[in-house]
Amino acid sequence: MTFEQTILFALFGAVFALLVWGRWRYDIVAFSALLAGVALGVVPEDEAFAGFGHPAVVIVALVLIVSAGLVRSGAVHLLTRTVTDSARGVQGHIAVMGGIGAALSGFINNVAALALLMPVDVTTARKAGRPPGRTLMPLSFATILGGMVTLIGTPPNIIIAGIREESLGAPFGMFDFAPVGVATAVAGLAFVALVGWRLIPARGDVAEHVEKVTEYVAELTVPDDSEVIGKRVRELYVTAEETDVAIIGLIRDDKRRYGTSANTKLQAGDALVLEATPAALEEFRSALSLGFADKGHEDKLKAEGSGLTLIEVVVPEGARIAGKTVHSVGLLWRQHTVLMGISRQGRRITEQMRRTKVRPGDILLLLAPKESATTVVEWLGVLPLADRGLTVTQNTKTWAAIGLFAAAVAAASVGLVYLPIGLGIVVVGYVLLGILPARELYDHVEWPVLVLLGSMIALGGALDAAGGTRLIAENLTSLTAGWPVWAVLAALMVVTMTLSDVLNNTATAVVAAPVAIEMARALGVSPDAFLMAVAVGASCAFLTPIGHKNNTLILGPGGYRFGDYWQMGLPLEVIVVAVAVPVILLVWV
């Protein structure tokens, strides 16, 4: 190896080791490695930031903004709210939700697709009386599988298309991934819905805890103009039963009445003492038009006019609060919000919560002013767990949002417009139509992902220019010497898949794609076949909660442990290889 190759391999090794360790955020690790490469002379100064202008980086940013626009317009909820049914069995529910998740993931970022559907899945599980852990992992896997179908469904596909353009002169088209992606997704979904969900460890106590941890004692007040004034408390039992709320007492004139006060007639200013989950409480409050107020917290939080609301949120990797305490981010004095509880993989944290560092995958129960609930969620960088309408939708512009996005995708698919330009037009259109406020435009971009991507593309380009990828390809080719093409493809896919299970899939794709091209050239076959193998391998990370962001997001809400994923994920990865390799050979070789 040359000096440049040795340094670059050492940098990549350090990046991979630090990403697996997880002590520092992935974008800091990647950007530090890029700067080290420049300082050591293996990355030219004039090309150090070339990766940030790569089309793949632009497309990822635009896809995230467009995804937010589709959410804000109500386009996604138009689909999901009509197909969920709590009376449907687990197998049927997984098939329906998984199919929707896979379809959405083909056209919006698969992380965004899961973020949209996870609240629906959790709410449906609550109404059906089953633990959400039974269906959340299948939903996560389905969104990952669906992302492989199109160019914009998942970042690895975008990266691989960009590398193909640089190496072979033209990128992959919007639906070039579809033959392999559809076959693999269908087979994977069939396994997940029919067999896979049964392999998830059944820990009833842990799964049930995820629901019970959010039950709390709260007070709903009777407004002056309420229709329940004059009714007896027991007359509200039917509504309470329908919404899974337990009425446990009544407060009048700041004094707790004896027992449940079932026969007491309600007066204005009374406060019903309830035990319920936040979602059930909100449903009960809405059904009876009650007020939600806790005077002690109301004074402390300085809520004005609209009172307080409880928000269940899940913490994704890269959130503002991830790795920090609520005290250190100033949650109370900055956002007038109090942390009420934390759920972490089935363990409740109740002591010194202000000093507890929040981790990706944790569930937080927040008490916030109603009027700024959406702002609190966006400021923290978390995702609402209960489907409570925190995002203000523009329902009158649903079809305009869908039509504009569909037109751009269609134009890009037939080559009328370059995909980044088409997505850029959609973003501008969403702003002009008022679907996305201009002031919030950049809030929807995952900047750490873009920094990671831009840094790794520059490092990958330097490794390729120094002959590093050719060296890796030669070694892999020599190890598989004499093997048939299908076996070499399978080996490349397995290696890529293994890396993606422990590393960021973006970094895996950046490194593996140039290696695939070199291996194909050495074997004298189409590089496209090997690029497709990398695309599948980089996307299919099912063995751990750290291989893909979607797996991290469901860790807390599903009550899972680190070792739960491989039990369904391992046979799924075997199925993916068994299905994808023959289809790649049929279509691309």
* Among the listed residues 156, 196, 198, the one whose alpha carbon sits nearest the alpha carbon of residue 177: 156
- Retrieve residue 338's tokens: 């109090």
pLDDT at residue number 252:
85
> Strand ranges (DSSP E) for 53-173?
none
Mean pLDDT of 86-97: 87
pLDDT at residue number 398:
82
Give residues with Cβ within 8 angstroms of 255, minimum separation 6.
Answer: none
pLDDT at residue number 503:
66
- Which tens digits make up the pLDDT trace of 474-494? 888 888 888 999 999 999 999
Q: What is the mean pLDDT of the chain?
A: 80
Choose the most confident range, by mean pLDDT, from 17-21, 140-144, 247-251: 140-144
Q: Which amino acid is at 470?
A: R
**Is the pLDDT reported for residue 374 higher than 70?**
yes
List, in order of start, the domains of the chain with CATH numbers.
3-24+50-206+444-588 (no CATH), 216-276+278-384 (3.30.70.1450), 395-441 (no CATH)
Beta carbons of 60 and 102 less than 8 angstroms apart: no
pLDDT at residue number 308:
63
**Is the pLDDT reported for residue 533 higher than 90?**
yes
**Is the pLDDT reported for residue 278 higher than 80?**
no
- Retrieve residue 314's tokens: 């899940």
Choose the most confident range, by mean pLDDT, from 77-86, 301-310, 539-548: 539-548
- Retrieve residue 45's tokens: 């100064």
Mean pLDDT of 340-346: 63
**Rounded to 5 degrees, what are φ and ψ at 41?**
85, 10
pLDDT at residue number 266:
92
Tokens 């490695």 correspond to what residue? 33
Name the percent of the chain lying above pLDDT 90: 25
Q: Categorize the per-residue pLDDT at 556 as very low, low, confident or very high, splitting at 50, 70 and 90.
A: low
**Is the pLDDT reported for residue 390 higher than 50?**
no
pTM for the complete prediction?
Answer: 0.63
- Which tens digits make up the pLDDT trace of 391-430? 444 557 888 988 998 898 788 777 788 878 988 999 999 9
Higher pLDDT, 180 or 22: 180
Mean pLDDT of 377-385: 83
Which residue intervals of 259-385 are DSSP H helices?
A: 278-288, 295-301, 326-329, 331-335, 373-380
Cα-Cα-Cα-Cα dihedral sign, residues 71, 74, 79, 84: positive
- Would you give the end-to-end CA distance of the chain in angstroms? 32
- Which tens digits make up the pLDDT trace of 216-237? 445 678 888 888 999 998 899 8
pLDDT at residue number 220:
78
**Is the pLDDT reported for residue 10 higher than 60?**
yes
pLDDT at residue number 259:
64
pLDDT at residue number 394:
54
Residues paired with 343 in a beta bridge: 348, 363
pLDDT at residue number 203:
56
Least confident of 138-152, 365-379, 522-536: 365-379
Higher pLDDT, 534 or 311: 534
Cα separation, 156 vs 456, whole angstroms: 12
**Is the pLDDT reported for residue 338 higher than 60?**
yes
**Is the pLDDT reported for residue 210 higher than 50?**
no
* Among the listed residues 138, 136, 121, the one whose alpha carbon sits nearest the alpha carbon of residue 83: 121
Q: Categorize the per-residue pLDDT at 298 as very low, low, confident or very high, splitting at 50, 70 and 90.
A: very low
**Rounded to 5 degrees, what are φ and ψ at 309?**
-145, 150
Cα separation, 258 vs 252, whole angstroms: 11
**Is the pLDDT reported for residue 356 higher than 70?**
yes
- Which tens digits make up the pLDDT trace of 33-73? 999 999 999 999 988 998 888 777 887 788 778 877 877 77
